[in-house]
Amino acid sequence: MKIGFIGLGIMGKPMVKNLLKAKHQVVVYDIVKENVDAAVAAGAATGKNSAAIAAECPLVITMLPNSPHVKTAVLGKDGVLEGAKKGMILIDMSSIAPIASKEINDACKEKGIRMLDAPVSGGEPKAVDGTLSIMVGGDKALFEEVKPILACMGSSIVLCGDVGAGNTTKLANQMIVAGNIAILAEALTMAKKAGVKPQTVFEAIKGGLAGSTVMNAKAPMMIGNDFKPGFRIDLHIKDLNNALETGHKLGAPMPLTAEVQEMFEILHADGCGSDDHSALARFYEKLSGTRIAD
């Protein structure tokens, strides 16, 4: 199938490569030339802009940083809707505010465009190996139609409800991940100050009730003082801002999410915004004067 793909960042590039490995034709666009060049080197073709890609592809995927970027790419000048033909499918795999997904879907409906929101979880490693968790919102029949394409990029693909439900689910995911990373950093810092090696604590508890995918991925990074980004702090700040905005509009109290968000904001102010979100360990190092890593 000929697939348009808009947005070739940390996640988008490997997702395109997995579509190419599955023998799909992929036409790409990104405002960063180096990203486009990398996709072309892997076998993709290029489009002049989002409208041009939509004009030649029956299915277009967007993978962009936040709500305004998706709105510009889809609704703006030279955007997807300018070039799209009636019946085209848009899958927005960005992590954005659910209300923005619904607004974009409404505009798509007016043009006869079918849309799903399908944000992902798993970070760059799972984008590379094609095992992302994909949370989908939209029509069930459309979901079933495109599920084989999503399966080229993910191993868990779940329909969560109507358009917007995918991003609501992703926000819940990001809240839980942030809380897990924060308490992990807090616990390992306490252990270090008590004279117990964080590596020993990790090995002892990872098979018990406290064990989690988050712990398995992030504890070794904290212990190794390795904060090369799989998922950057600044992106998590964006997600938690969307979560707080959504929660406030719904009347859902979110004190723990707000607390972790402030920790991330402090790290951003300290110049750590491009670090992996496991660098919450640095927040506790700042408070305690103790580093988890040896």
The pLDDT of residue 149: 98
Contact call for residues 19 and 153 (beta carbons, < 8 A): yes
Percent of the chain with pLDDT over 70: 100
Contact call for residues 227 and 275 (beta carbons, < 8 A): yes
Phi and psi torsions of 254, nearest 5°: -140, 55
The pLDDT of residue 230: 81
Q: What type of residue sits at position 187?
A: A
Provide the pLDDT confidence category of residue 122 given band limits of 50, 70 and 90.
Answer: confident
Instruction: Kindly list the structural domains of the chain, giving each domain's residue range(s) and its CATH number in brackets, ordered by start.
Output: 2-162 (3.40.50.720), 168-288 (1.10.1040.10)
Kindly tell me if the per-residue pLDDT of 23 is higher than 90.
Answer: yes
Q: What type of residue sits at position 258?
A: A
Q: Which of 13, 17, 126, 170 is catalytic?
A: 170
Query: Packing angle between helix 198-205 and helix 165-193, nearest 10 degrees?
Result: 130
Kindly tell me if the per-residue pLDDT of 201 is higher than 90.
Answer: yes
The pLDDT tens digits for 244-294 are 999 999 999 999 999 999 999 999 999 999 999 999 999 999 999 999 998
Following CA atoms 118, 124, 128, 132 in sequence, which dihedral angle do they give, to the nearest 10 degrees?
Answer: -30
Mean pLDDT over 99-126 rounds to: 95
The question of whether 147 is a catalytic residue gets the answer no
The whole-chain average pLDDT of the chain stands at 96
The pLDDT of residue 294: 83
Provide the pLDDT confidence category of residue 123 given band limits of 50, 70 and 90.
Answer: confident
Kindly tell me if the per-residue pLDDT of 241 is higher than 90.
Answer: yes
Kindly tell me if the per-residue pLDDT of 124 is higher than 90.
Answer: no
Tell me the C-alpha to C-alpha distance, in Å, between residue 151 and each of 15, 137, 144, 276. Answer: 11, 16, 11, 26
Please name which of 214, 212, 206 lies closest in space to residue 230, comparing C-alpha atoms: 214
Q: What's the whole-model pTM score?
A: 0.91
Write out the two tokens for 283. Answer: 């927040």
